[in-house]
Amino acid sequence: MARGNPLKEYMEKRDFSRTPEPEGGSAGEEGSGGYRDGPIFVVHKHDASNLHYDFRLEVEGALKSWAVPKGPSTDPSEKRLALPTEDHPLEYAGFEGVIPEDEYGGGTVLVWDAGPYENLKTDDDGEPVPLSDQVSQGHLTVWLRGEKLTGGYALTQTGEERWILVKMEDGEADARRNPVSTEPDSVLTGRSLEGVEKEAEKGEEG
Ligand code: MN
């Protein structure tokens, strides 16, 4: 099946001599982000002009991405707006740093949650429906095994550039938790947004 480079838009939007973000292009082994037991998800916390969370799922060698202004919830009654953004390279899963203010997506980024995920959707014959098909059908369901987010999550397309992210009803649902506010820091390095900023500044001086 012929298709364009899924990372074309990602690469066109960035000047890699200016941003510390990965260029992509060495996808593969490195891209699994250290998790070897299946495809991965990652949620970046991104303090750009508006603070938001970027929800990313590994699909066919790239990270399918949605910007979630309020971040994911563990409460099934909370529907979170999710705006599709360009595919990111797999190496992006481990990216934390400060993107210069005048560059695309300028602001501080940390890995708010990450881990493997499982595809929950099967067809009438009980065969798994590929995630890429679920994305084009506008409805996908996955089981996350993160540190903050666990259990079933559904992403449903409700408009041309508009999806909704919602926690599914299962044993991992918990309306009392609110990890976006109670667990703000990186699962990768334990750093806060301020910590990432300070270290980036130090790096520039040194
Ligand atoms: Mn973002």
pLDDT at residue 39 in the model: 95
CA of 33 to the centre of ligand 1 (A): 19
Backbone φ, ψ for residue 70 (5° rounding): -95, -5
pLDDT at residue 3 in the model: 59
CA of 22 to the centre of ligand 1 (A): 14
Give the 3-state DSSP-derived string for the chain, with helices as H, strands as E and coil as C. CCCCCCCHHHHHCCCCCCCCCCCCCCCCHHHHCCCCCCCEEEEEEEECCCEEEEEEEEECCEEEEEEECCCCCCCCCCCEEEEEEEEEEHHHHHCCEEECCCCCCCEEEEEEEEEEEEECCECCCCCECCHHHHHHHCEEEEEEECCCCEEEEEEEEEECCEEEEEECCCCCCCCCCCHHHHCCCCCCCCCCHHHHHHHHHHHHHC
CA of 174 to the centre of ligand 1 (A): 26
190-199, long-range: CB within 8 Å, 24+ apart, which pairs?
A: 191/96, 191/110, 192/110, 193/45, 193/47, 193/108, 193/110, 196/96, 196/97, 196/98, 196/108, 196/109, 196/110, 197/98, 197/108
CA of 61 to the centre of ligand 1 (A): 20
CA of 180 to the centre of ligand 1 (A): 15
* Range with the poorest average pLDDT among 28-32, 33-37, 131-135, 181-185: 28-32
Residues 144 and 108: their CA atoms lie apart, in Å, by 25
pLDDT at residue 205 in the model: 64
CA of 83 to the centre of ligand 1 (A): 10
Q: Stretch 148-164: mean pLDDT, rounded?
A: 98
With 60 as the cut, is the pLDDT of residue 140 above it?
A: yes
Query: What pTM does this model have?
Result: 0.91
With 70 as the cut, is the pLDDT of residue 46 above it?
A: yes
CA of 124 to the centre of ligand 1 (A): 36
* pLDDT grade for 204, boundaries at 50, 70 and 90: confident
CA of 106 to the centre of ligand 1 (A): 9
Residues 94 and 191: their CA atoms lie apart, in Å, by 13
CA of 63 to the centre of ligand 1 (A): 13
CA of 20 to the centre of ligand 1 (A): 14
CA of 52 to the centre of ligand 1 (A): 6
pLDDT at residue 37 in the model: 66
Contact 154, 76 (CB under 8 A): no
CA of 53 to the centre of ligand 1 (A): 6
Contact 99, 9 (CB under 8 A): no
- Return the structure tokens found at 124: 């009438």
CA of 157 to the centre of ligand 1 (A): 19
Q: Stretch 177-203: mean pLDDT, rounded?
A: 96
Per-residue pLDDT tens digits for 72-95: 999 999 999 999 999 999 999 999
CA of 105 to the centre of ligand 1 (A): 6
Higher pLDDT, 206 or 180: 180
Per-residue pLDDT tens digits for 1-37: 445 788 999 999 999 999 999 998 754 444 444 555 6
